[in-house]
């Protein structure tokens, strides 16, 4: 069903039914907008076990040596 078809059907409704439809559509749209937002801060500490046994100074020196 297309938006045009829905609009044609809505035109056949009474004014009160249109208001009810509008409220229901508004509620549907705002519900979709209220999905919880995610934060980058939730990623803090993720993967820290990968670096657990790595000497960061030695690792950075290796990267610098590779670059030169």
Q: With 80 as the cut, is the pLDDT of residue 13 above it?
A: yes
Instruction: Give how far the C-alpha of residue 31 lies from the chain's centroid of Cα atoms, to the nearest Å.
Output: 13
Q: With 70 as the cut, is the pLDDT of residue 53 above it?
A: yes
Question: Phi and psi of 59, rounded to 5°?
Answer: -65, -45
Angle CA 29–34–46, to nearest 5: 140
Q: d(Cα 23, Cα 28) in Å, to the nearest integer?
A: 9
Across the chain, mean pLDDT equals: 89
Burial of 15 (0-12, 13-18, 19+ CB in 10 A): exposed
- The answer to whether 13 touches 21, Cβ cutoff 8 Å, is yes
Confidence band, pLDDT 50/70/90 cuts, at residue 33: low
């Amino acid at each position: 069903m297309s938006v045009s078809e829905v609009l044609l059907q809505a035109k056949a409704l009474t004014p009160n039914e249109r208001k009810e439809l509008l409220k229901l559509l508004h509620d549907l749209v705002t519900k979709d907008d209220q999905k919880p937002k995610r934060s980058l801060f939730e990623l803090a500490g993720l993967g820290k076990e990968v670096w657990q046994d790595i000497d960061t100074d030695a690792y950075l020196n290796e990267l610098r040596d590779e670059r030169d």
